[in-house]
C-alpha cells in the first residue's frame, strides 16, 4: 500500500472472492477488483500480492507459502518466496538487498478457507421474516414480508420509492436532490427473486440481484450470451451484488446496458398491482385470501415512453421478466462502448438480433440501441428494410449503415455530446455484428481472412497482467538506508486500523459544517437568505463574509481569494457560507436551503475564450539565442498547436478538517493537507490572531498529489470561522462531488509552436507560446507556468528558444498543483512537436529524438549545465531491453495484415528538475529525541501521503544512530513542533527533510560518541542512560537548506534546480479502430533515481506515477457544461485507470552502474515522486502511432494532430476512415457543444 485509503476495500474484495472461491484463477482475481480504485500504486504490487492466492497454473507464486517466514527478496530480485522462483533462473546479477536481522520480519500465513467463521446455522434455521416499520425525522420506511404486503403498501403510498440495492436511489437523492418521504425495502422478498426455465424461455423474478442473474444465464443460448456480455461490464462486483434488473428497467436510463437487449429480443415484463377494491385499513393485516393481485405483460419495446418514463402507474411494480429462447438460426449479440472497460457507464450500447433462413436471407431482425436518444430505442425503418435481404452482400451492409445513420440522427449539441462518435459507434457495432454472424453461418469474405475477423468482431481482450521489477543496487556499506523496508504504516492500512482525519473520534460537543457554494460561474450576489436553514432546530449557525473576524482574504502567492464571497462570485463552487449543525446530514440539508439571489454576468470557461477576451493574470518570458534569425536560416520550418486537457487529483480521501477551539483563543487544526504551515498562517490571518495560537497537525493523508498543497486551505478557513463563533469543535469531510467542484485540478494547456530544423535533422530554434487555464484565482498558476517554461525542452538541445507564457483568468475552479506541476504539460507540447515534425520530414521519430538529445555539459535554455547526464545511455538501454527494432518490424507486419486492429509503439524520454522554483521554500527542519529506554522519536516538516516519506526518515535516523529500525518512531507532523515548514511537494521532501533529520542525528551521534568509545560492549539503551546521567542533551534539531540554487527570473540568472531525475519508457498498444478502445500490451521503463533510500518505495512511486500519467493522457477527461457547472464531478463520469488498464506486461528497472560525482543529495538519492509521470505519455504516443497506421491504410497522409487526453472518442475520430467520415455531424455557426473542455 501507499496512502492506504483504498487498501481496506481492496482487501475486502479479495477476501469476498476467496470466501466464494478459495482457489481462484489469476484472471478471476483481477476481475474481482473491477469496482475498486487506487490512485497511488499503479495496481501491480496489489495484484502481485493478491495472485499469491491463485490456484496452480504452473506459475511460480502459488505454491504453499506455509507458515514459515518468507524472504521476498533474494539477491536483489523480487521473488514470490520460493527457492526455485522463476525470477531467479539464469540470474547472474548480484545485487545486495537482504534486510538486516534488526528489522521486523513479515511472516505470511497460508490462507485456509476451512478455518473461516461461518454465519451461525441456528440463526439461519430459526430466522423468521417480519414486516418492519421505521420512522425518522422526514421519512417513513417499510419492509413488507411478502408480495401481497408490498402491493398493498404501494397502493396506499403510490409515491413511495422502492429500494433494493439502493444503487440508483442514492444517486437520485444526492445529485438530483430527490426527496422521498416513504421508502419500501423490497430486497428480500422471495416472490421477486425466483427463476424458472420454461419451454418458451426463462422467467426471472425482477428483483433478483445481477450477480445471480449472471449465474443463471450461464447457458449456451444466444439471448443469454448477449445479456452476459453486457452484464460482465455492468458496473463492478459490488454493484452487481446488490443491483437488480427491475431497478435498471424502472430507472429507464437511456444508456442502460440491459434494456437494448430486452428490446431487440422482445422480452416481456410482468407488471403487478393491488386490486383497489380490497380494504386497505391496515397495511399488514392482509393475507393471500383478502387481496387481489392484478398483473399485465408489457413488451420491452412498449415499456419506455420518454426520458426515465415508462408505462407503470404509481401503484404498479415489475414482478417478473420473461426472456424468450432463441430460435433456429437466430443470433443475438451485445455491444457496449465506454471510456473504460471496467465499471463504466456506456457511451453507446446495443443489443442486435437477426434470424436467417437456410439461404441466409433475413427473416427477422431487432436492433436496440442505448445512448442515441433520450430512451433506449429500436430502429423499425432500418429493420423493415433489412428483412428479405441476404446476409453477406456488401451492398446490403452499406445500405443498412446508411439507413441507420439517417434513422439515428443526432445534432452537434445533443445531450451527452460526442454526436459524431456516437453515430460512428452504431456503424462500428453493425459492422462487427455483420461479419460476426457471416462467419457464424459460414459466409466467407475476400476482404478479411478468418483470423482478422475473429479479432475485430469482439472487444480487445486483455491477458492477465504481469510485471518484472529489476531494482537492485550494488552492495553498499549501509545497514538500513537503501534497503527495501516495507512502508511503516502498511500493516495498519491493510487491516483498516490506520487513522485518517475523519477517523478521529468525535469530541464532546462537536458539530458538523457544510459549505454553501455558488451555483453560477460569474455573478453578483444580490442577497443571501439563510432563514430556512436556521429554522431547523439542529442547525447552530450560518456564517458568511460578514462574520469573518480577521481578513477575508488569502492566497498562496497573492491574496486574491475570499474565504467567503462578499459580493461577486467568479466560479461555480466558490464558498459563500458555512452551515453548522449537529450532524452531517442535517448540515448538508440545511446548506441547500440557503437561498442566494444572483445577477448573472458574462463568463469565460476556456483558454480560447480567455484569448478572445484578453483575460490573463500574468505572463512570463524566457529567451535563449536569436530565435528569429535561427528560424530564418533553418532548412525546414514547421508550425503547430497542441491542446492538453486538465486532470482531477481524485485522491481517495477527500479534503477533510477538524477544528478544536482551545483556551486563550487557541485553535488546534487536524487537516488533510500537504501544507500545515500555510494552513496555520492563513488560519491565524482570517481569525485576526497570531500564528502562535494556531497549530496544525497531520497524521497522514489518503493521497495528495498536489491537490492538498493549497486547495485544502479554504475548507479549514471556513470551519475555523464557525468554531471561532460557536466555541465548539467542527469537522467536515467533503463529499466527492463537493471536492471536485471546489478543489481545482491540473491546468489545461494550449501550446502554439514554430520550429526550425536543419538538413542534419537537428533542432535549430523553437518559438513557443504557452497558455494555461488558471481558473478564477491565481493560486500557484504563475509557478506552474514557470515550470512549464523550464521543461519545454524536455531532453532536447535547442540552441535558440523563445518561450512566452500566459496564465488565463477564467470562471472555472482555481486550478492548482498536480504531480509534475506544469512540467508534464510543457514536455507534452514538445513531444507532440517532435512527433509531428518527424512525420512531416518523413523520418523515424525515435531517430529524430536520438539526434537531438542533450549531451553531458550542454546548457539548458535557463543556463543550467547538465552534469551526471545519463539520458542518452538510458534511452539506448530502453531501446535495447525493449527490443524496439524487432518489435517495430513485428508491429508493421501486424498492421499490414489487420484493417480494424492496429498496434503502435513509442519511446519517450523525460527530464524533471528537482527543487522548488520559489527560492525560500528549499529548506527544512527536524527534531530528534532520544529517550532513556533507547527509543527515538523523530519529527520533521514533511507530510506522509503515501509516498513513504516517514519510512525513509526512519531509515535515515536508524542508520545515522546505528540502531534497529523498530526503536525509531514518528508520530505526526505538527507546526508547534517543526515550524515554518515548506509544503510537501516538488518531489524534494526526502531531500530536504532527510538532510534535516540527518543533521540532527549527527549532532546526537557526536554527543554520544565518547560514551560509545568508552562503553563499546554496551547496547544503545545503556549508552543513552550513561549520557543522560551526565546531563547530556539528548534532543537535537537539524536544519537544511538546498545549496547552490537560486534562479532570478528578472535577471534570468542563477541555478534553477539542484539536479534532474531522468528516465525513458517504451510502450506498445493495440487499438480497436471501430470503437477507439485501446489496451497497453507492454511497457519497458528505466528511471535514474540515484542511490535509492528505499527501492521498494521508489518502485511504487514510479509505477503509480506512470499509471497516473497514463490516465492523464488517455481516459481522464474533465468536462464542463456551457453554464460553468462541471459535468465530471464523480467516479460515474470521471474515470481513473483501473486494475485492468495497466500494461499487460510491465517491466521496470532502475538505471545502474552510474556515478554521481556532482549529486549533492542525502545519500546520493534522487526525488522520484513526479519525474516518472510524464512517461505515461508513451501510451499516448503509441496510440498516435497506431492511428498513423490506420490513416496510411486508407491512403490518408495527413499528419495526426491528436488532442490529449486520447479518449476512445478521440482515437476513433482521429482514424478518419470511411465509417467516421460518413457519420460526421456538422457544427452549425455559433453552436456550442453540450459539454466542453476548458
The string of pLDDT tens digits covering residues 392-449 is: 999 999 999 999 999 999 999 999 999 999 999 999 999 999 999 999 999 987 777 7
Q: How much is the pLDDT for 440?
A: 92
Model pLDDT for residues 1144-1169, shown as the tens digit of each residue: 999 999 998 788 999 999 999 999 99
CA 543 from chain centre, in angstroms, equals 34
CA-wise closest residue to 467 among 35, 64, 49:
49
pLDDT reported for residue 285? 38
| 1108 three-class SS | helix
449 CB neighbour count, 10 Å cutoff: 12
pLDDT the model gives residue 107: 58
Rounded alpha-carbon distances, angstroms, from residue 25 to 108, 1079, 1114: 20, 21, 29
Q: Which three cell numbers stand for residue 67?
A: 507458515
| Backbone phi, psi, residue 1019, to 5° | -80, 175
**298-311: per-residue pLDDT in tens?**
999 999 999 989 99
Question: Rounded to an integer, what distance in angstroms lies between the CA atom of residue 691 and that of residue 562?
Answer: 19
User: Sorting pLDDT into bands at 50, 70 and 90, what band is 452?
Assistant: confident
Instruction: Return the pLDDT at 221.
Output: 60
Query: Half-sphere exposure (CA, 13 Å, Cβ side) for 444?
Result: 3
Domains 868-914+1057-1223 and 923-1041 share a fold: yes
**Cα angle: 429, vertex 431, 435; to 5 degrees:** 120
Residue 58: what pLDDT?
52
Is the predicted pLDDT of residue 667 greater than 50, yes or no? yes
Q: What is the mean pLDDT of residues 484-503?
A: 95
Lowest-confidence region among 53-67, 364-378, 462-476: 53-67
**Taking Cα atoms as reference points, which of 41, 58, 59, 47 lies closest to residue 3?**
41
pLDDT at 142 over 90: yes
Residue 975 and residue 677 in contact, taking contact as beta carbons nearer than 8 Å: yes
More confident residue, 287 or 780: 780
Q: Give Rg (Cα) of the chain.
A: 32
* Domain over 132-448 is classified CATH 3.40.50.360: no
- 461 or 971, greater pLDDT: 971
Distance CA 97, CA 476 (A): 10
pLDDT for 212 beyond 80: yes
Q: What is the mean pLDDT of residues 703-716?
A: 98
> Which cell goes with 658?
477538524
Other Cβ atoms closer than 10 A to 969 = 15
- Residue 512, phi-psi category: left (phi > 0), alpha (psi -120 to 50), beta (remainder): beta
Q: What is the pLDDT of residues 513-526, one digit of tens each?
A: 999 999 999 999 99
Beta strands in 678-723 (DSSP E): 694-698
Q: Which three cell numbers stand for residue 738?
A: 463537493
Separation in Å, CA 737 to CA 975, 1118, 1128, 1133, 1194: 30, 13, 9, 11, 43
Q: Which of 198-202, 619-623, 1120-1124 has the lowest mean pLDDT?
A: 198-202
Residue 219's pLDDT is: 61
CATH architecture assigned to 7-117: Orthogonal Bundle (1.10)
- Quote the distance between the C-alpha of residue 109 and its chain's center: 32
Asked if 266 contacts 299 with a C-beta cutoff of 8 angstroms, the reply is yes
Q: Which residues are annotated binding-site positions?
A: 3, 6, 38, 40, 162-169, 234, 257, 336, 674, 705, 709, 787, 819, 821, 917, 986
CB 1150 within 8 A of CB 470: yes
Contact 817, 706 (CB under 8 A): yes
| Phi/psi-derived region of residue 106, left when phi > 0, alpha when psi is between -120 and 50, beta in every other case | beta
* Model confidence at 100: pLDDT above 60: no
Place of cell 478502445: 1077
Distance CA 332, CA 328 (A): 12
Task: Indicate the domain borders of the chain.
Answer: 7-117, 132-448, 868-914+1057-1223, 923-1041
Residues 492, 494, 500, 506: is their CA dihedral positive or negative?
negative
Residue 96 has pLDDT above 60, yes or no: no
Using DSSP, how many helices (H) and how many strands (E) does the chain show?
Answer: 36, 44
Query: Model confidence over 1201-1225: pLDDT tens digits?
Result: 999 999 999 999 999 999 999 999 9
Q: Cell 506522509, residue?
A: 944
C-alpha cell at 337: 462502448
> Looking at the annotation, which residues are catalytic?
1170
In the predicted model, is pLDDT for residue 93 greater than 50? no
Q: Indicate the pLDDT class of residue 293, thresholds 50, 70 and 90.
A: confident
Most confident of 96-110, 263-277, 615-629: 615-629
> Which residue spans within 1028-1125 are E strands per DSSP?
1035-1041, 1059-1072, 1078-1088
pLDDT attached to residue 57: 58
Tell me how crowded residue 311 is: count the other CB atoms within 10 A of its CB: 14
Nearest Cα neighbor of 1188 from 788, 902, 937 is 902
Dump pLDDT digits (tens) for 1083-1107: 999 999 999 999 999 999 999 999 9
Examine the pLDDT at 657 and tell me if it is beyond 90. Answer: yes
Cis peptide before 1205 (omega within 30 of 0): yes
Residue 114: DSSP 8-state: G
Cell of 803: 518561450
- Percent residues over pLDDT 70 in the chain: 93
Residues making up the chain, counted from first to last: 1238
* pLDDT score at 84: 45
Measured between alpha carbons, how far is 73 from 1127 in angstroms, rounded to an integer? 46
1160-1194 pLDDT, tens digit each: 999 999 999 999 999 999 999 999 999 999 999 99
Lowest mean pLDDT across 439-448, 637-646, 781-790, 1099-1108: 439-448
Q: Is the pLDDT of residue 1000 over 90?
A: yes
Check whether 1045 has a pLDDT greater than 90: yes
- Which three cell numbers, joined as nine digits, stand for 774? 488558471
What pLDDT was estimated at residue 108?
Answer: 60
pLDDT at 72: 39
Q: Which CATH number fits domain 868-914+1057-1223: 1.20.1250.20, 3.10.180.10, 2.102.10.10, 3.30.365.10?
A: 3.30.365.10
User: What's the confidence (pLDDT) of residue 231?
Assistant: 73
Average pLDDT over residues 958-973: 97
Query: pLDDT tens digits, residue range 822-854?
Result: 999 999 999 999 999 999 999 999 999 999 999
Strand blocks (E) in 563-627: 568-569, 575-581, 595-600, 616-624
Mutual angle of helices 713-726 and 676-687, in 10-degree steps = 40
For residue 1232, give the 3-state DSSP assignment: coil
Annotated binding residues for [2Fe-2S] cluster, as ranges? 3, 6, 38, 40
Provide the phi-psi class of 496: left if phi over 0, else alpha when psi is between -120 and 50, else beta.
Answer: left
Tell me the per-residue pLDDT of 342-380, one tens digit each, with 9 for 90 and over: 888 899 999 999 999 999 999 999 999 999 999 999 999
Contact 936, 929 (CB under 8 A): yes
| CATH number for the domain formed by residue range(s) 923-1041 | 3.30.365.10
pLDDT of the residue at 104: 46
**Annotated binding-site ranges for FAD:** 162-169, 234, 257, 336
Residues 6 or more apart whose CB falls under 8 angstroms from that of 43 comprise 33, 465, 1103, 1107, 1137, 1138, 1139, 1142
Contact 681, 691 (CB under 8 A): yes
Task: Give the separation between CA 515 and CA 294, rounded to whole angstroms.
Answer: 48
**Rounded Cα distance, 973 and 981, in Å:** 10
Q: Which of 275-289, 769-783, 938-952 has the lowest mean pLDDT?
A: 275-289
Query: Contact, 1102 vs 1168, CB < 8 A?
Result: yes
**Mean of the per-residue pLDDT values of the chain:** 92
119 pLDDT higher than 50? yes
C-alpha cell at 443: 459466409
Q: What is the DSSP letter of 1236?
A: B
Could you tell me the pLDDT band of residue 102, with boundaries at 50, 70 and 90? Answer: very low
Cis peptide preceding 209, ω within 30 of 0: no
Cell match 457507464: residue?
A: 345
Sign of CA dihedral 256, 261, 264, 269: negative
Continuous segment of H or E residues that includes residue 676: helix 676-687
Please report which confidence band the pLDDT of residue 533 belongs to, taking 50, 70 and 90 as the band edges.
very high
Grid coordinates representing 851 are 539526434
Amino acid at each position: 500500500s501507499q496512502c492506504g485509503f483504498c487498501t481496506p476495500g481492496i482487501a475486502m474484495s479479495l477476501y469476498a472472492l476467496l470466501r466464494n472461491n478459495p482457489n481462484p484463477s489469476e484472471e478471476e482475481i483481477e476481475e474481482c477488483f473491477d469496482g475498486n480504485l487506487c490512485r497511488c500504486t499503479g495496481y501491480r504490487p496489489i495484484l502481485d500480492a493478491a495472485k499469491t492466492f491463485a490456484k496452480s497454473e504452473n506459475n511460480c507464486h502459488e505454491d504453499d507459502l506455509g507458515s514459515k517466514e518468507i524472504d521476498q527478496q533474494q539477491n536483489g530480485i523480487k521473488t514470490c518466496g520460493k527457492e526455485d522462483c522463476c525470477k531467479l533462473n539464469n540470474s547472474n546479477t548480484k545485487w545486495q538487498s537482504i534486510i538486516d536481522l534488526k528489522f521486523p520480519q513479515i511472516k505470511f500465513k497460508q490462507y485456509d478457507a476451512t478455518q473461516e467463521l461461518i454465519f451461525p446455522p441456528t440463526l439461519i434455521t430459526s430466522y423468521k421474516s417480519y414486516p418492519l416499520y421505521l420512522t425518522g425525522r422526514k421519512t417513513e420506511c417499510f419492509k413488507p414480508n411478502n408480495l401481497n404486503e408490498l402491493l398493498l403498501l404501494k397502493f396506499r403510498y403510490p409515491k413511495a420509492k422502492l429500494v433494493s440495492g439502493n444503487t440508483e436511489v442514492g444517486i437520485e437523492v444526492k445529485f438530483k436532490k430527490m426527496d422521498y418521504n416513504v421508502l419500501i425495502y423490497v430486497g428480500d422478498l422471495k416472490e421477486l427473486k425466483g427463476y424458472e426455465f420454461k419451454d418458451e424461455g426463462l422467467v426471472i423474478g425482477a428483483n433478483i440481484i445481477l450477480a445471480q442473474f449472471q449465474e443463471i444465464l450461464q447457458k449456451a443460448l444466444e439471448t443469454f450470451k448477449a445479456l452476459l456480455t453486457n452484464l460482465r461490464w455492468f458496473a463492478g462486483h459490488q454493484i452487481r451484488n446488490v443491483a437488480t434488473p427491475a431497478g435498471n428497467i424502472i430507472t429507464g436510463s437511456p444508456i442502460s446496458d440491459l434494456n437494448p437487449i430486452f428490446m431487440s429480443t422482445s422480452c416481456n415484463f410482468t407488471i403487478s398491482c393491488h386490486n383497489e377494491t380490497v380494504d386497505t385499513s391496515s397495511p399488514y393485516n392482509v393475507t393471500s385470501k383478502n387481496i387481489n393481485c392484478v398483473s399485465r405483460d408489457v413488451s420491452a419495446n412498449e415499456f419506455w415512453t420518454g426520458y426515465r418514463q415508462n408505462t407503470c402507474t404509481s401503484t404498479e411494480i415489475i414482478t417478473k421478466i420473461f426472456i424468450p429462447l432463441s430460435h433456429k438460426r437466430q443470433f443475438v449479440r451485445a455491444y457496449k462502448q465506454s471510456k473504460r472497460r471496467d465499471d463504466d457507464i456506456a457511451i453507446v450500447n446495443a443489443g442486435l438480433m437477426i434470424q436467417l433462413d437456410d439461404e441466409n436471407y433475413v427473416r427477422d431482425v431487432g436492433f436496440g440501441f442505448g445512448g442515441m436518444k433520450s430512451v433506449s430505442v429500436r430502429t423499425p425503418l432500418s429493420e423493415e428494410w433489412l428483412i428479405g435481404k441476404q446476409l453477406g452482400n456488401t451492398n446490403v451492409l452499406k445500405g443498412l449503415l446508411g439507413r441507420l445513420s439517417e434513422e439515428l440522427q443526432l445534432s452537434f449539441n445533443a445531450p451527452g455530446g460526442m454526436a459524431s462518435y456516437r453515430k460512428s459507434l452504431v456503424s462500428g457495432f453493425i459492422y462487427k455484428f455483420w461479419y460476426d454472424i457471416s462467419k457464424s453461418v459460414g459466409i466467407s469474405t475476400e476482404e478479411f481472412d478468418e483470423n482478422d475477423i475473429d479479432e475485430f468482431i469482439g472487444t480487445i481482450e486483455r491477458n492477465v497482467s504481469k510485471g518484472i521489477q529489476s531494482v537492485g543496487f550494488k552492495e553498499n556499506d549501509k545497514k538500513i538506508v537503501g534497503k527495501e523496508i516495507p512502508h511503516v504504516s502498511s500493516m495498519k492500512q491493510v487491516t483498516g486500523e490506520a487513522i485518517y482525519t475523519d477517523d478521529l473520534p468525535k469530541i464532546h460537543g462537536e458539530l458538523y459544517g457544510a459549505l454553501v457554494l455558488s451555483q453560477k460561474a460569474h455573478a453578483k450576489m444580490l442577497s443571501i437568505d439563510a432563514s430556512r436553514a436556521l429554522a431547523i432546530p439542529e442547525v447552530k449557525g450560518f456564517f458568511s463574509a460578514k462574520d469573518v473576524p480577521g481578513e477575508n482574504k488569502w492566497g498562496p502567492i497573492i491574496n486574491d481569494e475570499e474565504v467567503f464571497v462578499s459580493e461577486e462570485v467568479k466560479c461555480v463552487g466558490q464558498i459563500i457560507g458555512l452551515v453548522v449543525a449537529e450532524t452531517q446530514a442535517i448540515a448538508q440539508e440545511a446548506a441547500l436551503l440557503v437561498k442566494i439571489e444572483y445577477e448573472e454576468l458574462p463568463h469565460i470557461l476556456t483558454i480560447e475564450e480567455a484569448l478572445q477576451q484578453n483575460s490573463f493574470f500574468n505572463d512570463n518570458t524566457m529567451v535563449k539565442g536569436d530565435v528569429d534569425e535561427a528560424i530564418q536560416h533553418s532548412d525546414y520550418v514547421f508550425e503547430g498547436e497542441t491542446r492538453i486537457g486538465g486532470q482531477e487529483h481524485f485522491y481517495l480521501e477527500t479534503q477533510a478538517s477538524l477544528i478544536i477551539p482551545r483556551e486563550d483563543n487557541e485553535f488546534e487544526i487536524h487537516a488533510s493537507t500537504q501544507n500545515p504551515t500555510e494552513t496555520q498562517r492563513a488560519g491565524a490571518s482570517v481569525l485576526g490572531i497570531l500564528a502562535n495560537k494556531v497549530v496544525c497537525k497531520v497524521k497522514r493523508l489518503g493521497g495528495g498529489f498536489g491537490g492538498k498543497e493549497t486547495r485544502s486551505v479554504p475548507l479549514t478557513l471556513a470551519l475555523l470561522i464557525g468554531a471561532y463563533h460557536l466555541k465548539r469543535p467542527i469537522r467536515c469531510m467533503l463529499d466527492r462531488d463537493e471536492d471536485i467542484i471546489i478543489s481545482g485540478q491540473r491546468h489545461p494547456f494550449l501550446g502554439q509552436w514554430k520550429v526550425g530544423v536543419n538538413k542534419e535533422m537537428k533542432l535549430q530554434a523553437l518559438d513557443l507560446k504557452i497558455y494555461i487555464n488558471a481558473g478564477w484565482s491565481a493560486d500557484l498558476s504563475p509557478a506552474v507556468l514557470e515550470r512549464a517554461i523550464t521543461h519545454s525542452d524536455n531532453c532536447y538541445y535547442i540552441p535558440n528558444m523563445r518561450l512566452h507564457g500566459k496564465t488565463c483568468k477564467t470562471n472555472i475552479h482555481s486550478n492548482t498543483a498536480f504531480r509534475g506541476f506544469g512540467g508534464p504539460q510543457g514536455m507534452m507540447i514538445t513531444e507532440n512537436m517532435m512527433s509531428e515534425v518527424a512525420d512531416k520530414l518523413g523520418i523515424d521519430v525515435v531517430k529524430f529524438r536520438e539526434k537531438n538529445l542533450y549531451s553531458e555539459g550542454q546548457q539548458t535554455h535557463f543556463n543550467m549545465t547538465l552534469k551526471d547526464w545519463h539520458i542518452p545511455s538510458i534511452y539506448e538501454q530502453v531501446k535495447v531491453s525493449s527490443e524496439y527494432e524487432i518489435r517495430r518490424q513485428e508491429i508493421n507486419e501486424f498492421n499490414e495484415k489487420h484493417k480494424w486492429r492496429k498496434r503502435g509503439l513509442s519511446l519517450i524520454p523525460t527530464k524533471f528538475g528537482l527543487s522548488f522554483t520559489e527560492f525560500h521554500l528549499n529548506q527544512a527542519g527536524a527534531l530528534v529525541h532520544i529517550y532513556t529506554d533507547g527509543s527515538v522519536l523523530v519529527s520533521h516538516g514533511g507530510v506522509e501521503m503515501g509516498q513513504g516519506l516517514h519510512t525513509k526518515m526512519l531509515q535515515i535516523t536508524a542508520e545515522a544512530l546505528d540502531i534497529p529500525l523498530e526503536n525509531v518512531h514518528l508520530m505526526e507532523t505538527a507546526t508547534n513542533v517543526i515550524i515554518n515548514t515548506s509544503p510537501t511537494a516538488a518531489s524534494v521532501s526526502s531531500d530536504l527533510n532527510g538532510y534535516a533529520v540527518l543533521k540532527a542525528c549527527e549532532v546526537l551521534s557526536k554527543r554520544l560518541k565518547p560514551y560509545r568509545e568508552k562503553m563499546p560492549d554496551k547496547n544503545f539503551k545503556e549508552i543513552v542512560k550513561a549520557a543522560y546521567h551526565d546531563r547530556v542533551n539528548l534532543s537535537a534539531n537539524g536544519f537544511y537548506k538546498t545549496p547552490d540554487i537560486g534562479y532570478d527570473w528578472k535577471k534570468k540568472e542563477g541555478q534553477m534546480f539542484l539536479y534532474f531525475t531522468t528516465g525513458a519508457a517504451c510502450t506498445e498498444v493495440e487499438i480497436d479502430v471501430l470503437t477507439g478502445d485501446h489496451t497497453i500490451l507492454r511497457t519497458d521503463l528505466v528511471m535514474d533515481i540515484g542511490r535509492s533510500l528505499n527501492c521498494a518505495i521508489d518502485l511504487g512511486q514510479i509505477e503509480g506515477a506512470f499509471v497516473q500519467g497514463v490516465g492523464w493522457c488517455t481516459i481522464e477527461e474533465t468536462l464542463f457544461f456551457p453554464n460553468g457547472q462541471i459535468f465530471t464531478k464523480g467516479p460515474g463520469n470521471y474515470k481513473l485507470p483501473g486494475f485492468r488498464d495497466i500494461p499487460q506486461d510491465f517491466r521496470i528497472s532502475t538505471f545502474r552502474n552510474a556515478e554521481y560525482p556532482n549529486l549533492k543529495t542525502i545519500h546520493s538519492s534522487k526525488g522520484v515522486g513526479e519525474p516518472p509521470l510524464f512517461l505515461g505519455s508513451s501510451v499516448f504516443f503509441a496510440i498516435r502511432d497506431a492511428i498513423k497506421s490506420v490513416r496510411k491504410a486508407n491512403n490518408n497522409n495527413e499528419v495526426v494532430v491528436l488532442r490529449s487526453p486520447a479518449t476512445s472518442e478521440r482515437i476513433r475520430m482521429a482514424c478518419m476512415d470511411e465509417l467516421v467520415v460518413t457519420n460526421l455531424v456538422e457544427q452549425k455557426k455559433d453552436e456550442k457543444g453540450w459539454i466542453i473542455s476548458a
